[in-house]
Amino acid sequence: MNGFSKLTKTEKIDWIVNEYFSNPTEAQQLLKQYWNTDSKLQQLHDEFIENTISNYYLPLGVAPNFIINSTNYTIPMAIEESSVVAAASKAAKFWAERGGFTTNVISTTKIGQVHFKYSGHFSDLTEFFKSIKPKLIEDTKPITKNMEARGGGILDIELRDKTASLDNYYQLHCSFETLDAMGANFINSCLEQFAKTLKSQVESHLNETIDIIMSILSNYVPECLVRAEVSCDVIDLKDKGLENPQLFAEKFVQAVAIAEVEPYRAVTHNKGIMNGVDAVILATGNDFRAVEAGVHAYASKDGQYRSLTHATIVDNIFKFWIEIPLALGTVGGLTRLHPLVKFSLELLRNPSAKELMSIVAVAGLAQNFGALRSLTTTGIQEGHMKMHLMNILNQFEANTKEKDYIITLFKDKAITHNAVVEALDLFRQSNSD
């Protein structure tokens, strides 16, 4: 297919439904059903990407009762997985009754690099780099002016010799403070200007060739780090289902210790954390792919993949915390464009990027607490299947009466896919007689 992107939306849809679908009319109707009737709003969504043919919905849920640094939040979460929002809400309420979450933004530095090849002497380049460093910064002034006026900008540019890893490979390793912006465009624009200045200066004054390979920000942000924590007396962990708080605390700490040393478990443990993190990142219009890439690299920073959370019992105090790198923005990007992103940010009282880092870290910690609480007590399936029950009922197109009946029937029963389907069949049979 040539020239697909030049077709109108209708032409694109016609081609797709006729080429790939056994029932083109039905496929076309489905796409239309998910369009917004407000044409301006639909156009806004169409223009986020190329070749838009419809909208892909995810539920937007909320988890109330999060006390973070003594402020009460209701956290928006965009996610399809049953039980994530329920688990977050339950953990929020549990910790709200025990003093809430505290957070600390440790640092907010972001990194970008200019990767280049150079075959002259490193000592000559080092000396020359020192002399042109002010010019590298000066040449970016049109890009950095506004950011600097707000208190951010370029923090440093370092010349790094990487020839031990790859022949003739050097880099400018640059650090930035981008305040409330995620800063990808700002950083990449600065880097491309550094690359231009470096190349032209070296080639005209040092008589050596610089081969610029690429200039790009890094999504590895170990210095854009936030810590969130909960703690209480072990005895105060007592709750419905946690009748023996000492035993619970000890098992919980063991479960975290296993994820600290065992990569197979650590990946699943961190996946549960990312259930909470990604849901808030999506709701607030941030880039979950960037966050995912950076978080998992951070989890392997000492050469082995490990848990992002940690737990201790010291002097009868249970403490549970997360340290997670999060490069987030609350201005720019989708934040002023997507109506539900605007809504989500207002729901969070229009946080700064630092506040959003805290909220997201808390969502991850709460999610991990909920998962470990279930795993070390009842097992995960009890809560999971309760939430999944509705998916099964919807899959079999149960009506309200059928749903009410099945939900009541399974209140105190083990939920399995087969058991639900059988019960639904029986109920339908007895009602059709």
Among 76, 152, 272, 285, binds ligand MEV (CB under 6 A): 272
Report d(CA 333, CA 321) in Å as an integer.
30
- C-beta of 82: minimal distance to ligand MEV in Å? 9
Nearer to ligand MEV, 178 or 275 (CB): 275
Query: Which is catalytic among the residues 81, 236, 262, 323?
Result: 81
371 is a contact residue toward ligand MEV (CB under 6 A): yes
By beta carbon distance, the residue nearest ligand MEV is 272
Q: Is 336 in the site for ligand MEV (CB under 6 A)?
A: no
Considering the complex, state which of residue 53 and residue 380 has its C-beta at the smaller distance from ligand MEV: 380
- CB 111, CB 218: distance < 8 Å: yes
The answer to whether 268 contacts ligand MEV (rule: CB under 6 A) is yes
What residues have CB less than 8 Å from 226, skipping those under 6 apart? 103, 104, 105, 106, 323, 324, 325, 326, 354, 357, 358, 360, 361
**CB 87 → ligand MEV: shortest distance, Å?**
8
Q: Which is nearer to ligand MEV, 80 or 243 (CB)?
A: 80
130 binds ligand MEV (CB under 6 A): no
Can 323 be counted among the known catalytic residues?
no
Token pair of 218 as six digits: 């890094």
E-strand spans in 26-91? 60-68, 71-78
DSSP code at position 226: E
Minimum distance from CB of 417 to ligand MEV (Å)?
A: 17
Q: Between 110 and 373, whose beta carbon lies closer to ligand MEV?
A: 373
287 is catalytic: yes
- Which residue in this structure is represented by tokens 């915390």? 321
CB 119 within 8 A of CB 168: yes
Q: In this structure, are strands 309-314 and 210-217 parallel, antiparallel, or unpaired?
A: unpaired
Distance of closest approach, residue 433 Cβ to ligand MEV, in angstroms: 41
CA distance 280 to 282: 5
Q: Is 398 within 8 Å of 424 (Cβ atoms)? A: yes
- Whether residue 360 contacts residue 328, with contact meaning beta carbons closer than 8 Å, is answered with yes
Measured from the CB atom, the residue of 110 and 269 that comes closer to ligand MEV is 269
- Angstrom CA distances, 321 to 80, 98, 216, 311, 364, stand at 26, 15, 32, 6, 10
Would you count residue 338 as binding ligand MEV (CB under 6 A)?
no
In order of 234, 286, 345, the CA distances from 342 in angstroms are: 40, 12, 5
Catalytic site residue from 130, 271, 401, 413: 271
Check if the beta carbon of residue 45 is closer than 8 Å to that of residue 34: no
Binders of ligand MEV: how many residues, by CB under 6 A? Answer: 9
Stretch that binds ligand MEV, among 65-73, 131-139, 269-277, 399-407 (CB under 6 A): 269-277
Residue 257 in contact with ligand MEV, rule: CB under 6 A: no
Q: Give the span between the Cα atoms of 433 and 431, in whole angstroms.
A: 6
386 catalytic? Reply is no
Q: Determine the 3-state secondary structure of 117 from DSSP.
A: strand
Subset of residues 375 to 404 that bind ligand MEV, contact rule: CB under 6 A? 375, 380
> Closest separation between CB of residue 15 and ligand MEV, Å?
37
Nearer Cβ to ligand MEV, position 136 or 372?
372
Q: Spot the catalytic one: 287, 338, 355, 388.
A: 287
Is 401 one of the annotated active-site residues of the chain?
no
Given the complex with ligand MEV, which of 79 and 190 has the nearer CB atom? Answer: 79
Query: Which residues between 275 and 294 bind ligand MEV (CB under 6 A)?
Result: 275
Nearest distance, CB of residue 392 and ligand MEV, angstroms: 17
Contact stretch for ligand MEV (CB under 6 A) within 206-214, 270-278, 299-307, 353-361: 270-278
**Spatial distance between the Cα atoms of 215 and 198, rounded to a whole number of angstroms:** 12
Angle at 244 between CA 368 and CA 70, to 5 degrees: 50
CA dihedral (176, 182, 183, 188) in degrees, to 10, reads 100
Site string for ligand MEV, 79-98 (x = CB under 6 A): --x-----------------
- Residue 129 amino acid letter: F
Go through the chain and tell me how many residues it has. Answer: 433
Asked if 271 is part of the footprint of ligand MEV (rule: CB under 6 A), the reply reads yes
Which residues are tagged catalytic?
81, 271, 287, 384
Residues within the interface to ligand MEV (CB under 6 A): 81, 268-269, 271-272, 275, 371, 375, 380
